[in-house]
Amino acid sequence: MNQKRSLRKRVSPEEYQLLQQLRERRPAQNPPKQRLSLGDRISDKVAAIMGSWRFIIIQSILLAFWVILNVIAVIQHWDPYPFILLNLMLSFQAAYAAPIIMMSQNRQAAIDRADARHDYEVNQKAELEIEVLQDKLNLLREEEIAELKMLLIEQQQVTLRLETLLIEQLQK
């Protein structure tokens, strides 16, 4: 009973209760896992592809090829100079790519928030565990100091008795 009271010196009852809950949940061993829907997986793949250098280089080559073929076309110009068809295709690409990329970013932000919440719980549990350990060490140190004080008092008493015996022996 005395030990439990001493252990809670630095840890408030609310913190101790939170620590017990965190111990039951074991956050370090149970990281959050999120199941991805088909739409989530597709948006992630589209965002990964469209956000890569490979995509930018391939698209740049295709755009240059389109422009060159339409400018120096020997047979027929299918999209003459203001390149209206090319502009329309790029507008469609942007119209569909932007929301898909935003979905992927929003889902990633939600995952990041869940990971941050998980990290906070792990850190909070670690901090409370350290405080409890510190309290246990303090308790052990106090017990050790009390025991050393008792030994010192006993030693002083023995020394005093020996001194008195020596004095008595010398006086005889």
Q: What is the DSSP letter of 27?
A: T
Which SS3 state, helix, strand or coil, does residue 36 take? coil
- According to the model, what pLDDT value does residue 9 have? 63
Q: Say what percent of the chain tops pLDDT 90.
A: 52
Tell me the pLDDT band of 131, cut-offs 50, 70 and 90: confident
pTM of the shown model: 0.63
* Domains of the chain, residue spans: 2-143
| Tokens describing residue 74 | 């020997």
pLDDT for residue 157: 96
Q: What is the rounded average pLDDT of the residues 73-85?
A: 84
pLDDT value of position 147 = 95
pLDDT per residue as tens digits for the range 11-67: 788 887 877 887 787 777 777 787 889 999 999 999 999 999 999 999 999 999 999
d(CA 11, CA 135): 8
pLDDT at 8 over 70: no
pLDDT at site 73: 79
The reported pLDDT for the residue numbered 14 is: 82
Instruction: Provide the residue count of the chain.
Output: 172
Round to whole Å and give the CA distance between 141 and 134.
10
Residue 7 has pLDDT above 50, yes or no: no
Q: Are 4 and 135 in contact (CB under 8 A)?
A: no
Q: What local confidence, expressed as pLDDT, does residue 46 receive?
A: 93
Q: Residue 95 corresponds to which tokens in the numbers above?
A: 């119209």
Q: Is the pLDDT of residue 155 over 60?
A: yes
